[in-house]
Amino acid sequence: MSFPATRLSVVERTRSLDEETRRVAWATIIEAYWKPAYKHLRLKWSLGPDEAADLTQEFFTTTLEKDVVERYDPARARFRTYLRLCLDGFAANARKAERRLKRGGEVTIVPLDFQTAEGEMARHEGSVDADVDEIFYQEWLRALLERSVAELKQFADGSARPIMFDVFARYDLADEGDARPTYADLAHDLGLTAATVTNHLAAMRRQFRQIILTRLRDLTASEEEFESEAARLLGSRR
Amino acid sequence: MNWLSDRAIERLRDAAAWPELDARYVITGVAGRGGMGTVYVARDQLLDREVAVKVLDLADRKGSRVARLTREAHILARLDHPGIVPVHDAGVLPDGRSFYVMKLVRGRRLDEVLAGEAPHALRLDLFMRVLDAVAFAHAHGVVHRDLKPENIMAGAFGEVFVMDWGVAQDGAADAEPAIVGTPGFMPPEQAGAREVDARADIFALGAVLAQVIGREPSPALAAIAAKAHNPEAQARYQTVEQLAADLSRFRNQDRVSAYRESPAEQLLRIYRRYELPILLVLAYVVMRLVLLVWAGV
């Protein structure tokens, strides 16, 4: 299957009359965006860890309360760009007001693990001089791929074929600096034939692509935005 | 889930984009990425040779990308010329993406060649071969529409391949209303999304020639590039053959149509062209004069 089936995007589902649908949609948005938002505040706005965590919480609380998503117009910008601009505006206002930022205690849909996010900051490979939109994209992409890999593992476990994920992890998720093993090495290590390794890897990559496209479809607000994001993710590198 | 490094992200993007090709082709690497697809290096196990496989990054819902890549393969298959990369195979992946298999061109892109120390004569040689390939395409009703040094490959033995025919116009009926091409290389009529003809490629070739001849070309050569790159289609060379003919005249030190030379420049050009005979005649005349003077004494 080349395309995930068309369904309402998370943006559209935040406007649903059904409370549970809205809650899940919000959880999806926050899950995809809280880390990029936190890191953006740390890098672009040079906020300390606590201040950035507070502002991230408050941003999503305010976004929820003040119908920020309701005002989003897909014709004017990608949803990711829109949210980032809203975040910048929110941070600028907070700085202007020089007010103490309150904790956004209402947003508990998804637990936000700021400690982990802060730990990742130390390994951040980008530069504060890099294009802010590019950094935000890279963090958004990192979050998307992390969730997609986790879903792929669930898929393999659920199919009672965890070995398939092992093949994928050892080949396509090899640690940085490690040389990629050959198919023969993998076959030897995992007690499989080289042909089985090839088949498992192909199946996992196919499923992984499908998971990513489905998630992208969910996170984008229009067909054009989806195709543009997918082409960028799967195609040319900047 | 562990934190993903930037390198891991790139590997995962590659994994998601990986094409599920027939067992005949075993992918061994990535040769390059373009606006629409990725070109992989692969081993054709049936014929035991390396090939290049261009695969669409995403099959769009309307199917226009799929159709475009397929059309590119058809155009290449029709243009059987030494300067145009030949297609061996084409098809559609299980996930709906189209692909085609072509000759693996080894060499450097023209922009890389031009950035080096290639001699002037070699640069012009390469450019003349590009003209040959483009003229052939025009003769078959195909306008490339994205000619630029990055889309031209030069091999180790002086062979040249015009690549990336993805936005080519195949006959007037196939004109795409969208703006395609590269700023600086596309003429005003193309930037305005109007229908174009072969002269659009001549405009691009003028821009390429300007890079080929460098910063301090002879006035005649600069004039040839400027005429090809004229914003007014009517003022350009009307065919690639005309451009090639003017360049050949320049190389033969004949008068070029694009440049009106002064009498002094004309004399200098004639002298350069016939330098050896002129020097021989002069030497003969001088020798005779010396003999006459000596005999008179």
Determine the average pLDDT of the residues in B28-40.
87
Kind of pairing between the strands at B152-154 and B160-162? antiparallel
What does the DSSP 8-state code read for residue B10?
Answer: H
Evaluate if residue B128 carries a pLDDT over 70: yes
Closest CB from A1, A120, A236 relative to B95: A1
Tell me what ipTM this predicted complex has.
0.79
Can you name the residues that pair with B53 across neighbouring β-strands?
B40, B101
CA distances from B261 to A38, A138, A191 (A): 67, 57, 79
pLDDT at res. A235: 83
Distance CA A194, CA A211 (A): 26
Spatial distance between the Cα atoms of B205 and B186, rounded to a whole number of angstroms: 10
Q: Measured between CA atoms, how close is A225 to chain B, in angstroms?
A: 12
What residues 206-235 of chain B have any CB closer than 8 A to a CB of chain A?
none
H helices within B192-236, ranges in order?
198-213, 219-228
> And the tokens for A93?
């206002």
pTM attached to this predicted model: 0.79
Decide if B146 is catalytic.
yes
Residue A101 has pLDDT above 60, yes or no: no
Residues B30, B219: Cα–Cα separation, whole Å: 42
Q: Is the pLDDT of residue A2 over 70?
A: no
User: Which residue has better confidence, B268 or B243?
Assistant: B243
Tokens (6 digits) for A57: 């919480």
* Cross-chain Cβ contact A205/B61 below 8 Å: no
Q: Which is catalytic among the residues B57, B89, B95, B146? A: B146
Span B49-102, pLDDT tens digits:
999 999 999 888 888 888 889 999 999 999 999 999 999 999 999 888 999 999
Q: Tell me the pLDDT band of A129, cut-offs 50, 70 and 90.
A: low
Helices first, then strands: H and E counts in chain B: 10, 10
Q: Which residues of chain A neighbour B61 with C-beta distances below 8 Å?
A: 3, 223, 227
Across chain B, mean pLDDT equals 90
Residue of chain A with shortest Cα separation from B93: A2
CA atoms within 13 A on the CB side of B146: 16
Within its chain, how far is the Cα of B117 from the centroid?
Answer: 19
Joined tokens for residue A210: 């499908």
